[in-house]
Structure 1
């Protein structure tokens, strides 16, 4: 049995503007950069055993991971499967839009110009299965809120409603245990 850690990137411009980021590369705000540095210090000072940081290729997650790596001295590498879900036509629209809220509950439907939640879950579950089999290493995954939902659903049963409502704060650190 071993653990894995997960965090969401620091605050972005579009987080502040309440817009769906998805695959659109919204940069970190000054506050987001500070959150990333503070998380790096927290990880460094906590005594947590982490061997490697894996991060999404999108700059908001990559910049967060690099700040954590700079503070901790941990190796960090890009893991393309950790990129955020492509929300297609919804990217740049309000996060709380009525049409998007309904679409989020349709797991098999691809967003127009994007990918379905089932496609997203497949790539994240495949990655988690690989990390579970690698019992010699403990990873910190740095990614996105959509990825946070899928990771949580890998470890815990969730209803559709719970899944659609799930999420974590910017730079919140969550621990999961492979049983």
Structure 2
């Protein structure tokens, strides 16, 4: 039928500082670069063993995802390109604030809220769902998407029913790979 892989970017400066990055660019730390290279090495081993196929890497334009994708592309030899729809959600007034703040945790459960100048979860879901639908139409090609934790949450909700609480709390580790089958 078809599948794709998803990787969250490597560790960033703001991840270390426990800040919400959102659409604000925060560069990878040295550990983040190493996480990306290690993910690339693992994917290359699996590709060489015939366990997986990746035809193209699609990445968010934000540097933390782009640099992760570039490291993976260098390690695997798989071409990459920017996919604008993979940009992280703009969390408006919450960008740069504590990631584990109680007010932000409550705000994330309001799917229609644009966070005073940001992007609502519903709008972000629409663009990610549209992207996944586009990928599904091309079952002959297997993509690796490199993006953000918020994007991982939307992708997970495309494939699995979730309560609002499960959705708001879902996340994956930096440089973690997930596989999705259509």
When normalised by structure 1's length, the TM-score is: 0.98
Aligned position for 2:82: 78
Deviation (angstroms), 1:113:
1.1
Structure 2 distance, partners of 1:28, 1:109, is 29
| 1:160-175 alignment runs, 5 A limit | 160-175=164-179
Aligned position for 2:133: 129
**Deviation digits for residues 41-96 of structure 1, max 9, x if unmatched?**
01000121010000000000000000000000001000000000000110000001
The count of aligned residue pairs is 178
| 1:69-108 alignment runs, 5 A limit | 69-108=73-112
Structure 2 distance, partners of 1:135, 1:98, is 41
Aligned position for 2:38: 38
CA root-mean-square deviation: 0.5
| 1:1-150 alignment runs, 5 A limit | 1-47=1-47, 48-150=52-154
Equivalent of residue 157 in structure 2, options 144, 153, 156: 153
Structure 2 distance, partners of 1:111, 1:98, is 15
Gaps in structure 1 of 5+ consecutive residues: none
